[in-house]
């Protein structure tokens, strides 16, 4: 990863729970309006934000709404009236918001939301996987995944700047793995308020609900215009990729931490690549390093940017690897493949030269994924390449 040229001095290092770090990022971003409903494992984020508001450390209005459906609805009202808006949720809460998520995207409100990823019921599970956000992949928001607390902090601050860009004006989700990341205590580098203020100017939207310049928001569309509205949304969302990288570069210059839509670890000369998202990435890094030491040509790529899907960056990162093993943390029951595998396969379908692509679903509903699991998966996938595919995808470690 590229190192920044200048390293400013205005930081301090502090150990804290990642949920607390996320709420500090929201505080430093000077969020003005928050509407949230408690759900495990998002609770520590909103609890801490409530205290920050109660103590006057964050000048904001915090509404304790009566459901997540109302949380997202209130966020739309907040953003429409011109306030910098934040919320956080998880799993069933995201599912209850579902209807309104599409509307927030289509109405182009730059709301920032943390999703502490958790399995969807049933059976009820409060533990981590990606089934919540994968069910909401088509909501028309920008979406990124983070692998550790520092990234969770950084991407929360950056999300406001990306989302509020006039050429973007789209809501953004920062996905972080519930419990595995949200409840972990980490040493973090925190910038001071002045630096964040320089990076992120106050939100000044062009169109707000204002009697002095009345506008109608949320008009319905007849068939003659609906497709054009959807096309505009699609083009804007896709083009936002450029702005995302710009903001990440700027943050890289300020902090020395540079981010890319697809990131690589030991991919030099790798014939076999693992692809992960979220916290699985750090576990896979350990496994890949050990396999490299044992002489296996294995590397790792991780998908940070999920929407818009980084087709070009993914193809470039895979390069001429012979085998690509995609690790999903969600199931698409009865579908062609789990969500990430399906998209990766379609990204390579048109390519003249493409690797064998094998998919594994791991870590559902909080099941632990140790580094050994990745070594095992690599061994199994290598064997499958020689014997030919046995299944569309595999559910790793499942009994019965």
Q: Using CB under 8 A, list all residues that contact another protein.
A: 32-33, 35, 59-61, 63-67, 69-71, 73-83, 85, 99-100, 103, 107, 208-222, 225, 229
Rounded-to-integer distance, Cα 344 and Cα 170, Å: 24
Task: Report the residue number, 74 or 340, with the smaller CB distance to another protein.
Answer: 74
Angle of the 311-318 helix axis to the 339-349 helix axis, nearest 10 = 80
The two tokens of residue 51 are: 């205290």
Rounded-to-integer distance, Cα 143 and Cα 260, Å: 13
Task: Report the residue number, 208 or 296, with the smaller CB distance to another protein.
Answer: 208
Q: How far is CA 67 from CA 96, 97, 274, 316, in A?
A: 8, 9, 39, 43
Task: Report the residue number, 75 or 134, with the smaller CB distance to another protein.
Answer: 75
Task: Report the residue number, 75 or 347, with the smaller CB distance to another protein.
Answer: 75
Beta strand 172-177 with 142-145: parallel, antiparallel or unpaired? parallel
Task: Report the residue number, 208 or 266, with the smaller CB distance to another protein.
Answer: 208
Neighbours of 11 (CB within 10 A): 16
Secondary element (H or E) of residue 34: strand 33-36
Going by the DSSP 8-state scheme, the letter that residue 330 receives in this structure is: S
Work out how close the CB of 276 gets to another protein at its nearest, in angstroms, rounded to a whole number: 36
Work out how close the CB of 312 gets to another protein at its nearest, in angstroms, rounded to a whole number: 34
Q: Which residues contact 294 (CB under 8 A, 6 or more apart)?
A: none
Task: Report the residue number, 71 or 277, with the smaller CB distance to another protein.
Answer: 71
Rounded-to-integer distance, Cα 40 and Cα 171, Å: 23
Work out how close the CB of 70 gets to another protein at its nearest, in angstroms, rounded to a whole number: 4
Task: Report the residue number, 37 or 396, with the smaller CB distance to another protein.
Answer: 37
Rounded-to-integer distance, Cα 47 and Cα 66, Å: 15
Work out how close the CB of 85 gets to another protein at its nearest, in angstroms, rounded to a whole number: 8
Rounded-to-integer distance, Cα 143 and Cα 179, Å: 20
Work out how close the CB of 81 gets to another protein at its nearest, in angstroms, rounded to a whole number: 4
User: Cα-flanking dihedrals φ and ψ of residue 278, to 5°?
Assistant: 65, -145
Neighbours of 14 (CB within 10 A): 13
Work out how close the CB of 224 gets to another protein at its nearest, in angstroms, rounded to a whole number: 10
DSSP letters for 162-202: HHH-TTT---EEEEEETTTTTT-EEEEEEE-HHHHHHHSPP
Work out how close the CB of 46 gets to another protein at its nearest, in angstroms, rounded to a whole number: 15
Task: Report the residue number, 64 or 234, with the smaller CB distance to another protein.
Answer: 64
Work out how close the CB of 265 gets to another protein at its nearest, in angstroms, rounded to a whole number: 42
Work out how close the CB of 264 gets to another protein at its nearest, in angstroms, rounded to a whole number: 41
Task: Report the residue number, 111 or 331, with the smaller CB distance to another protein.
Answer: 111
């Amino acid at each position: 990863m590229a190192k920044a040229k200048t390293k400013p001095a205005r930081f301090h290092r502090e150990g804290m729970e990642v949920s607390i770090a996320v709420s500090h990022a929201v505080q430093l971003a000077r969020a003005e309006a928050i509407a949230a409903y408690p759900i495990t494992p998002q609770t520590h984020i909103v609890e801490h934000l409530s205290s920050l508001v109660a103590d006057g450390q964050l000048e904001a209005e915090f509404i304790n709404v009566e459901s997540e459906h109302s949380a997202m609805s209130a966020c739309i009202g907040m953003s429409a009236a011109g306030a910098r808006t934040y919320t956080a949720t998880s799993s069933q809460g995201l599912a209850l918001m579902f209807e309104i998520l599409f509307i927030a995207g289509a109405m182009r409100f730059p709301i920032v939301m943390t999703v502490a990823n958790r399995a969807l019921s049933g059976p009820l599970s409060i533990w981590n996987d990606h089934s919540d956000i994968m069910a909401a992949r088509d909501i028309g928001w920008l979406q990124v995944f983070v692998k550790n607390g520092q990234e969770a902090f950084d991407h929360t601050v950056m999300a406001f700047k990306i989302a509020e860009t006039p050429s973007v004006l789209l809501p953004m989700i920062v996905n972080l793995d519930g419990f595995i990341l949200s409840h972990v205590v980490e040493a973090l580098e925190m910038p001071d308020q002045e630096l964040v203020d320089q990076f992120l100017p106050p939100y000044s939207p062009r169109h707000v609900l204002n009697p002095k310049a009345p506008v109608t928001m949320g008009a319905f569309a007849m068939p003659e215009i609906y497709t054009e509205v959807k096309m505009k949304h699609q083009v804007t969302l896709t083009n936002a990729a450029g702005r995302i990288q710009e903001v990440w570069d700027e943050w890289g210059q300020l902090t020395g931490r540079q981010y890319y839509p697809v990131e690589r670890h030991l991919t030099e000369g790798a014939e076999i690549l693992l692809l992960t998202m979220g916290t699985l990435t750090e576990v896979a890094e350990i496994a890949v390093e050990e396999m490299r030491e044992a002489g296996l040509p294995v590397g790792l790529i991780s998908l940070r940017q999920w929407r818009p899907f980084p087709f070009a960056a993914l193809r470039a990162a895979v390069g001429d690897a012979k085998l690509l093993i995609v690790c999903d943390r969600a199931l698409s029951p009865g579908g062609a493949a789990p969500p990430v595998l399906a998209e990766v396969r379609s990204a390579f379908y048109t390519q003249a030269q493409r690797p064998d692509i094998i998919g594994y679903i791991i870590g559902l509903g909080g099941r632990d994924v140790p580094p050994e699991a990745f070594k095992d998966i690599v061994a199994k996938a290598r064997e499958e390449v020689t014997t030919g595919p046995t299944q569309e995808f595999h559910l790793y470690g499942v009994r019965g």
